[in-house]
């Protein structure tokens, strides 16, 4: 009986400690990055994507808004990053 009580008490303590650690961990942040072929497409597409994430209950935040990039001989593109 004493052994059983000790095991149950030990398991309860371990379970409580694990639950506290999980609840204290910060939430994982997610991000979406999009490449657009023109500035007009970027300016139009960014608010649409923000509205999409907001409709699912996220709180989106634009981290990078329509930055121009040209890498080597590739076509230029405009980049937007949204964190939610």
pLDDT tens digits for range 20-62 = 344 555 566 899 999 999 999 999 999 999 999 999 999 999 9
pLDDT of residue 15: 47
Angle made by CA atoms 14, 28, 58, in degrees to the nearest 5 = 125
Residue 27 lies in a domain: no
Give the C-alpha separation, 54 to 29, whole Å: 15
Whether residue 5 is contained in a domain is answered as no
- Domain span holding position 53: 40-66
Q: Does residue 36 contact residue 45 with C-beta atoms inside 8 Å?
A: yes
Instruction: Specify the DSSP element, H or E, that contains 67.
Output: strand 61-69
**Predicted structure pTM score:** 0.63
- Whether 31 is covered by a domain: the verdict is no
Q: Is residue 12 part of a domain?
A: no
Neighbouring residues of 33: CB distance < 8 A, sequence distance ≥ 6: 64, 79, 80, 81, 82
Is 62 a member of any domain?
Answer: yes
The verdict on residue 20 lying in a domain is no
């Amino acid at each position: 009986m004493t052994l059983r009580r000790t095991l149950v008490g030990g398991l309860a303590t371990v379970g409580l400690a694990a639950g506290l650690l999980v609840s204290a961990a910060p939430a994982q942040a997610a991000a979406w990055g999009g490449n657009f072929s023109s500035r007009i497409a970027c300016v139009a597409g960014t608010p649409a994507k923000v509205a999409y994430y907001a409709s699912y209950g996220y709180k989106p935040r634009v981290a990078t808004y329509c930055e121009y990039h040209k890498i080597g001989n590739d076509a230029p593109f405009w980049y937007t990053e949204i964190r939610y």
